[in-house]
Chains A and B, each alone.
Chain A
């Protein structure tokens, strides 16, 4: 009498599912790290310390703004900006 081999296939469904999830996790983390440029030891430029507290910060390059810099200042103030200032980053 020839005995049938044990069926491994259903077990591999479970293993493959879980390993897929583990792989997606690792790849998502790596992708996030690369795309958002977030990684240990990264040198960061923070325009205003309060950006990570309670302020929403918009940064404009004054060189690119050129002669429109004054207009921009006025527009920001008119639209309710709390502070408008220049800073070297």
Chain B
């Protein structure tokens, strides 16, 4: 009956296979741009600042942080959850969209997976350091030991976090790396310098692109994709149970697992949009990351924003409907109004209101607007985690225990350090690794004739 074009062409510019390889490898072959050096300098400075803050934490102890008996979790756990959330998009992009046969993922999945790996690395710093004696971090690993044997608490979500995040990092890094093997082979075979040939040759693991290799490669993609899809849901559900399994008002809610998972995908997709707009702009890859791709991400963000709004409404409604005076206090006097009302309303406006602007096609076509909205979403998600962690701890059941939390320079420094590590990692990725999956993009190029797409350009 009706044939509507859901998406525009995935690759613009009438490209041949050779052009695709050349365009995507160009940032690796070309000299390093000035803006890259400046950005790398700034991010390395931020990472160094973070290292200083980490040194202070390890050398002088957790007293350098502002956490106290009441607000035992502050910026560290906020940032941990924030980074893990951001890290979910890579897996969601690669794997959910792979399983759902969405071809438009091919231009985006490589950068999204890279973002996941660096985000999870940043996130993993926090559980290690927040336990205080970071040199004893191996205590979290369950093994028969000479301390009793003293086993970990298998019932604790904090232990489940360790298993889940380690597995998540393993799968994300593997999926990212093995996806790049054919592309490393392309760079190896086009390289003119011996050093480049040797390095990319080592990274390519002897890939020749034979039918057998491709067959096994596709099989591996689907197997890893299938099992990692489970992790996308389970990892952030486990992180949410860090809160939901407690008794703190505002935390003890069965809504938390789906709320956190959806929120994670929200912040992750927003960060992917930020990165893809940067890639398009600075590497002239508009013909691969088209307006149609950004349009698709924007539509997903609008949809998820509605779910987030529903989740916020549900939390408030259930606090009222349940009649629990502590829940009602937390939501109505400590979030909607009260000392922390700015964080609450910032969360609502940034996550549930501003993304609704993307209903408008005009906004979805405006790249600057999309860039700003994607940053606002991540800001909103940070406020959400602040809202959840600090407000509930600062004023829980016993008024005599109520206290104020305000981060120290050490905590802020660690966060800035993780931003520096993330941006440095992403910049290195831009410089040395093909930021779009060459072989996958070629697979969605529909040839109208063999000769047209294999001509030399």
CA A39 to CA B18, docked complex, whole Å = 26
From A8, A11, A28, give the contact of B220 (CB < 8 A).
A28
User: A18-B231, A19-B167 given as contacts; is B213 within 8 A of A36 (CB)?
Assistant: yes
CA A54 to CA B230, docked complex, whole Å = 35
Q: Which residues of B contact A54 (CB under 8 A)?
A: 16-18, 21, 453-454
B238 within 8 A of A: yes
A41 near B170 with CB under 8 A, answer: no
Q: Closest chain B residue to A6 by CB distance?
A: B155
A65 within 8 A of B: no
CA A13 to CA B219, docked complex, whole Å = 28
Q: Closest chain B residue to A45 by CB distance?
A: B208
A 11-50 to B, binary, CB cutoff 8 A, 1 in contact else 0: 1101101110110111011001101111111111111011
A36 near B216 with CB under 8 A, answer: yes
Interface size class of A (residues with CB under 8 A): 35 or more
Interchain Cβ contacts under 8 Å between A and B, 5 examples: A18-B238, A19-B163, A33-B205, A38-B206, A50-B189
Q: Which residues of B contact A11 (CB under 8 A)?
A: 154-156, 160
From A15, A24, A50, A53, give the contact of B227 (CB < 8 A).
A24
**Which residues in B have some Cβ–Cβ distance to A below 8 Å?**
16-18, 21, 154-156, 159-160, 163-164, 166-167, 170-171, 174, 178, 181-182, 185-186, 188-190, 202, 205-209, 212-213, 216-217, 219-220, 223-224, 227-228, 230-231, 234, 238, 450-451, 453-454
CA A10 to CA B205, docked complex, whole Å = 42
User: A8-B154, A14-B160 given as contacts; is B228 within 8 A of A22 (CB)?
Assistant: no
A84 within 8 A of B: no
A55 within 8 A of B: yes
CA A8 to CA B454, docked complex, whole Å = 61
Q: Which residues of A contact B207 (CB under 8 A)?
A: 38, 44, 52
Q: Which residues of B contact A32 (CB under 8 A)?
A: 178, 216-217, 219-220
Q: Which residues of A contact B450 (CB under 8 A)?
A: 80
CA A43 to CA B190, docked complex, whole Å = 18
CA A39 to CA B190, docked complex, whole Å = 21
A76 within 8 A of B: no
Q: Closest chain A residue to B217 by CB distance?
A: A36
B454 near A25 with CB under 8 A, answer: no
* Residue among B205, B213, B234, B451 with the highest chain A CB neighbour number at 10 A: B205
CA A53 to CA B219, docked complex, whole Å = 22
A52 near B181 with CB under 8 A, answer: no
Q: Which 3 A-B pairs have the closest CB atoms?
A: A42-B206, A54-B17, A36-B216
B223 near A24 with CB under 8 A, answer: yes
CA A54 to CA B206, docked complex, whole Å = 18
CA A40 to CA B164, docked complex, whole Å = 28
B171 near A51 with CB under 8 A, answer: no
CA A24 to CA B234, docked complex, whole Å = 16
A17 near B155 with CB under 8 A, answer: no
User: A8-B154, A37-B206, A39-B206 given as contacts; is B216 within 8 A of A52 (CB)?
Assistant: no
